[in-house]
A and B are shown apart, each in its own frame.
Chain A
Amino acid sequence: MKEISFKNDVLPLKDKLFRLALRITLNREEAEDIVQDTLMKLWNQRDEWSAIQNMETYSMTICRNLSLDAIEKKERLNISLDETVHDRPDTSRTQDEELMKQQQLNTVMRIIGQLPEKQRTIMQLRDIEGKSYQEIADIMSINVSDVKVNLFRARQKVLGSVNKES
């Protein structure tokens, strides 16, 4: 079996982990901390890497669990999740277009942000990370039919909201 290198095989997963943590926590700084914790946890387990079948799935499971812990802690403290969410503006367009685009993106972001965590995470893994149903099931430790049901509900909600907004 190929030897796993932290720098070449584990560290490059950071952006995927970051997006997943961001999708769950909806907070950039917190997501960054979670990715750091995930990577350090993986680093500390480096003696057991050979026993891990799929490093990406494994690291995403750790990242999701840490993210869930973080939002649970926040919920206990009664802090709103989406208060610090902000998207970076795309400067390539003119101001009007940019503004409209930004408004539309904010609307979509709000719609997705309102989905339950499970649906939000499944949607993230499927649409943004391009994961198969089986991979999503592995990452979230649920079965494939559960993934499909939750993805269906998420997409139907998004469709309903998009049609309502327009």
Chain B
Amino acid sequence: MNYQYIEQLLDRYWNCETTLEEEQILRSFFSQADVPNHLKQYAAFFAYEATQKEEKLGEDFDKRILAMTEEKQAVEAKTVKLSTRIAPFFKAAAVVAVVLTIGNIAERALQNNAVNSTTVNVTDTYTKKEDITAKIKIIDHTRSEAMAKTDSLKTQTPAINQDPLIIE
């Protein structure tokens, strides 16, 4: 079998003139069982390179790394949770503040109303009193008129009294 191509490739390999594909051909060639004697000295080198590609980390490594990243994520989630956990208190405080403010305003408004209404009542009563006084005046006036009438009647009474029966 002619190994000229492989020998050529080898020469170019040591001189760094091979492409990645050609280097792969060399590795495949030297990984087979029957390498000719005059090339056997290089077989160990390419075999060594092949074994190095097998170097891998264990399965537990993945788990450990993922656990570490999840742990970090969990810690971050916690900080977010903390703020969200505090948020309802702020909301509650804000609601309480709003309620208190509204309550306070309402209370003041009611108090003002109450004062106003009493004044109105007072004024009302006052006017009523005036009305009453006015009415009383009117009544007084009519009464005095009536009294004056009765008086004039009284003066006439003797004439009335001069009833024939009484006279008798």
Instruction: Output the residue of B15, B45, B47, B51 with the most chain A CB within 10 A.
Output: B45
Binding stretch for chain B, among A66-74, A76-84, A154-162: A154-162
Tell me whether B65 and A36 are in contact (CB under 8 A).
yes
Chain B residues near A96 (CB-CB < 8 A): none
**A32 touching B61 in the complex, CB below 8 Å, given contacts A18-B56, A127-B49:** yes
B129 is an interface residue with CB less than 8 A from chain A: no
Chain B residues near A127 (CB-CB < 8 A): 23, 49
Chain A residues near B64 (CB-CB < 8 A): 36
Count of A-B contacts judged by CB separation below 8 Å: 84
CB-based nearest A residue for B54: A88
Distance of A165 Cα from B41 Cα, bound (Å): 8
Binding stretch for chain A, among B66-74, B79-87, B133-141, B160-168: B66-74
Main secondary structure of the interface of B (DSSP, over half): helix
Distance of A120 Cα from B108 Cα, bound (Å): 87
**A162 touching B15 in the complex, CB below 8 Å, given contacts A6-B69, A132-B20:** no
A50 is an interface residue with CB less than 8 A from chain B: no
Interface size class of chain B, counting residues whose CB lies under 8 Å from the partner chain: 20 to 34
**A15 touching B57 in the complex, CB below 8 Å, given contacts A108-B44, A109-B48, A166-B41:** yes
Tell me whether A87 and B51 are in contact (CB under 8 A).
yes
Distance of A74 Cα from B69 Cα, bound (Å): 29
Q: Which residues from chain A sit less than 8 Å from chain B, CB to CB?
A: 6-7, 11, 14-15, 18-19, 22-23, 32, 35-36, 39-40, 43-44, 87, 90, 101, 104-105, 107-109, 112, 124, 126-128, 130, 132, 148, 151-152, 155-156, 158-159, 162-163, 165-166
Q: Which residues from chain B sit less than 8 Å from chain A, CB to CB?
A: 13-16, 20, 23-24, 40-45, 47-49, 51-53, 55-57, 61-62, 64-66, 68-69, 72
